[in-house]
Structure 1
């Protein structure tokens, strides 16, 4: 289950946009081996709100495009599909029968700016940011170069399978 909460008023989006986000997120999760019911919250905000959240959670006082708040911890260098069968999903991570994977906070305002900067559609940029953030929820990171290559490769594989082009 994907819960979407639109708390911004700078970029107008509707039900079709929400369905696309849900489909992209669900596809990315399935591609990464999530075969059980799950919960993810996606919060759409503007640049001011994401800057506040970024400052509160990371001590970085500026806007960003997307923030990910994973609920699960993974062994160093491992991602969900590497550990799923051996992972003890105790009640801490469950909401009924659903595995709680975490939260995504995305600035639609920043996504719009970046889509213009990169010369592709707003929808493509948001879909990329959703895939990027989903991968973070599943244990991917890009702090080390080898991890960055692994994450970027997976992003492109998923977007290619979804036929989402630059």
Structure 2
């Protein structure tokens, strides 16, 4: 079971911000990673939908990069997993960047939102893309997940 805490720091909430759909998407990612054992555990995820200005401040403070980005993930420490609850972490997504990138790449805001959500989740689960081989593994997993929900590249 997934407990999802979503905070909206944007004025316009897009029609695809269906919390049930977001929960289904994140739950599917967990099932892909952990298989049947997901059903036996509880998970917590915090998701913030914000602006370029807000994510830029977070990026500067925590990553020493003074620029907006699409998504930032903060994995919780294993010591924060108390009892049966697995604390996954925080994901911060800039809807400004999502809209900019969807226009740049020629696909929908919805597809781009779920791409960056998937990307952020995979970081929380230990994936990375610094080394080329790791990047290939992460991209393959992203495409498998997005394809299930028909969020394919144009």
Q: TM-score, normalised by structure 2?
A: 0.88
Unaligned runs of 5+ in 1: 73-88
| Correspondence list, 1:115-126, <5 A | 115-126=102-113
Question: Tell me, what secondary structure is at the counterpart of 1:139?
Answer: coil
- Which residue pairs with 2:135 in the alignment? 148
Other structure's SS at 2:18 match: helix
Q: Secondary structure at the match of 1:32?
A: helix
CA contact (8 A) 1:112 1:122 kept: yes
Q: Which moved more, 1:13-22 or 1:93-102?
A: 13-22
Q: SS of the residue aligned with 2:86?
A: strand
- Could you say which residue in structure 2 is the equivalent of 1:109? 96
Paired with 2:93 and 2:117, the residues of 1 have a C-alpha distance of 8
Contact 2:16/2:110, CA 8 A, preserved across alignment: no
Q: Is the 8 A contact 1:93 1:100 kept in 2?
A: yes
Matched, 1:21 2:22: yes
Query: Which of 85, 91, 113 is matched with 1:98 structurally?
Result: 85
How many correspondences in the alignment? Answer: 147
For the aligned residue pairs, the C-alpha RMSD in angstroms reads 1.7
- Any idea what the Cα deviations from partners look like across 1:52-86, whole Å, max 9, x if unmatched? 000000000000000000124xxxxxxxxxxxxxx
Report deviation, 1:29: 1.3
Paired position in structure 1 for 2:58:
53
**In structure 2, which of residues 147, 150, 153 is the aligned counterpart of residue 163 of structure 1?**
150
Which residue of structure 2 aligns with residue 4 of structure 1? 6
Structure-2 separation of matches of 1:144 and 1:47: 27
Aligned equivalents of 1:15, 1:120: Cα separation in 2: 14
Secondary structure of the 2:47 match is strand
Gap runs ≥5 in structure 2: none
